[in-house]
């Protein structure tokens, strides 16, 4: 019965009256799924955005149908996980993403860097973040200007040639790098950069 309720909570074709009933369910997971439902009436989203249990608020924060006024409120939520939901929501307005991109919490900035709707100006700023993971997520974002992506790749290519497969830490980085570099094939890289990318991937494979 619990699984059935979860599926109904996820289904965008579930009638509004059923969604409202599910929004009062005692289990947080059901509330999470129903709060993420894109067909959820705004009045219920508003109610769940004030829910004492964080899962309901997180679902609202991740819902692409959530109004800006509610997203703005949740961007200041006491629970950082709820703020993560706002930062990764493609419907979050630029003004809120801008604020979150300046937050001291690195995970929050990472979610902004990964958001497919983050504007170029914010991505350019985050590309200069001191945290290397944030820089990586910026260049993986398909909205990031190619010049920034290619500059990052050239720096990484030089670093990759110094990795030592006999060192356990470097060995793990080689494995992760091969997986990560493949993602860049989705970018509109220059012909020369694509060739260099393939060469570095093959070079790292041979080092393993």
Structure token pair of residue 33: 């799924």
pLDDT by residue (tens digit) across 17-71? 888 888 887 787 888 999 999 999 999 999 999 999 999 999 999 999 999 999 9
List pLDDT tens digits, range 103-129. Answer: 999 999 999 999 999 999 999 999 999
Please check whether residue 174 is in contact with residue 165, taking contact to mean a CB–CB distance below 8 angstroms. Answer: yes
**Cα–Cα distance, 143 to 48 (Å, whole number):** 32
For position 1, what pLDDT does the model report? Answer: 58
Question: 139: how many CB neighbours lie within 10 A of its CB?
Answer: 24
In the chain, what percentage of residues exceed pLDDT 90? 62
The CA distance from 185 to 153, in Å, is: 12
Residue whose C-alpha is closest to residue 60's, from 42, 105, 134, 19: 42
- How far is residue 48 CA from its own chain's centroid? 22
Using the predicted structure, report yes or no on whether residue 82 has a pLDDT greater than 90: yes
Q: What is the pTM of this model?
A: 0.88
- DSSP element (H, E) containing 103: none
Instruction: Please tell me the total number of residues recorded for the chain in this structure.
Output: 208
Query: Cα–Cα–Cα angle for 114, 117, 123, nearest 5°?
Result: 60
Q: What is the residue-averaged pLDDT of the chain? A: 91
């Amino acid at each position: 019965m619990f699984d059935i309720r979860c599926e109904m909570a996820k289904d965008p074709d579930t009638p509004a009256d059923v969604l409202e009933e599910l929004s009062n369910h005692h289990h947080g997971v059901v509330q999470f799924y129903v709060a993420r439902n894109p067909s959820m009436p705004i009045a219920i989203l508003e109610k769940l955005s004030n829910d004492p249990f964080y899962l309901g608020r997180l679902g609202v924060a991740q819902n692409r149908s959530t109004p800006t006024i509610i997203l703005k409120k949740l961007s200041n939520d006491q629970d950082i996980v709820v703020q993560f939901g706002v930062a990764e929501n493609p419907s979050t307005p630029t003004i809120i993403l801008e604020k979150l991109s300046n937050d001291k919490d690195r995970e929050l900035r990472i979610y902004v860097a990964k958001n497919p709707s983050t504007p170029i100006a914010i991505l350019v700023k985050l590309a200069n973040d001191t945290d290397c993971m944030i820089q990586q997520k910026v260049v993986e974002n398909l909205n990031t200007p190619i010049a920034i992506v290619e500059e990052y790749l050239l720096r990484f290519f030089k670093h990759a040639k110094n990795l030592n497969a006999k060192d356990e830490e470097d060995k793990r980085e080689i494995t992760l790098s091969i997986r990560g570099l493949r993602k860049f094939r989705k970018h509109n890289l220059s012909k020369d950069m694509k060739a260099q990318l393939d060469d570095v991937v093959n070079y790292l494979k041979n080092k393993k």
